[in-house]
Amino acid sequence: MNPSNAASPATARQLLEAQYRESLAAVTERMFAVAGIGPGQRVLDIGSGSGDTALIAAEWVGPTGRVLATDVTLAAMQGLAAHLRAQPRSLPIALEAVAAESLTQMPGSFDVVLARNCVMYFTDLPRALANIRAALRTGGRFVASVYGPLAHEPFHDIPIAAVRRRCPITEPYPDYVQAFRAGADVVGSALRSAGFQSVERHVVPTSRSFPSVPEAIEALRLSRSLAQLLSVLPESLREDAWTDIEAGFRDYESASGLRIPGEQVVLAATP
């Protein structure tokens, strides 16, 4: 993109946020479709972050239900906290800073536990799943989402490959790589080992769209997770990597713009 035609930082940020929402829309819809949340139920939302899943759950449980939104820090949920403070009426949502590995909820406290795109970041997957199982009532439902295979996620595969062509990626892995360390097979096996029954898998096609490849690159230069990935490289090699990323994305560009397909898997299990 010619510097004179570069998008403003605000416009680039809006594009970045829009493609992220687009990539999660079908996943979120499928998660709630299989969760079976109803009025009056108790829902635990793990890795709540900005809180959109917690807010949707609050709508479904209604005033007689409750939602506990959790993340590793309260700072991670500051957007959700601000949203709740701005509401004219209180919503049945409480916030707690706690990692899944450290959950100490009363056994059988929740009807549904949600974990959208966070299971792969658990530092101790067996312990976290054991805590989640304990928090669920008998017959409750745990619903999580993970990325599909890296080969089905070119949005991530192309940048990771661009870095790996220039430098090994070693631990501690950047989030871009960590996101694929625990796929559906690994999590499904861990769920069964933790005592969950009838683990279901729902493959969900996703997509990320931008008006053009140059505008995508301009927006992605604001991505903290992509910057973390590229920080693996010496600074002298980073612009070369961006050139590779742009070339890879062009395989998905058409006259109507850039659309990068993807895949996630929704896992649903009962204790």
pLDDT tens digit sequence for 136-181: 999 999 999 999 999 999 999 999 999 999 999 999 999 999 999 9
Angle at 218 between CA 163 and CA 212, to 5 degrees: 100
**pLDDT more than 90, % of the chain:** 95
Q: How far is 107 from 99, CA to CA, in rounded Å? A: 17
Is this prediction's pTM over 0.75? yes
Q: Which residue has the higher pLDDT, 6 or 210?
A: 210
pLDDT tens figures, 88-113: 999 999 999 999 999 999 999 999 99
Tell me the pLDDT of the chain averaged across its residues. Answer: 96
Contact partners, residue 221, CB within 8 Å, separation at least 6? 12, 227, 242
245, pLDDT greater than 70: yes
User: 3-class DSSP state for residue 222?
Assistant: coil
The region, left, alpha or beta by phi > 0 then psi within -120 to 50, assigned to residue 62 is: left
Q: What is the pLDDT of residue 174?
A: 97
Q: What is the pLDDT of residue 9?
A: 86
Q: What is the pLDDT of residue 1?
A: 46
Domains of the chain (ranges, CATH numbers): 3-270 (3.40.50.150)
Q: What is the pLDDT of residue 8?
A: 81
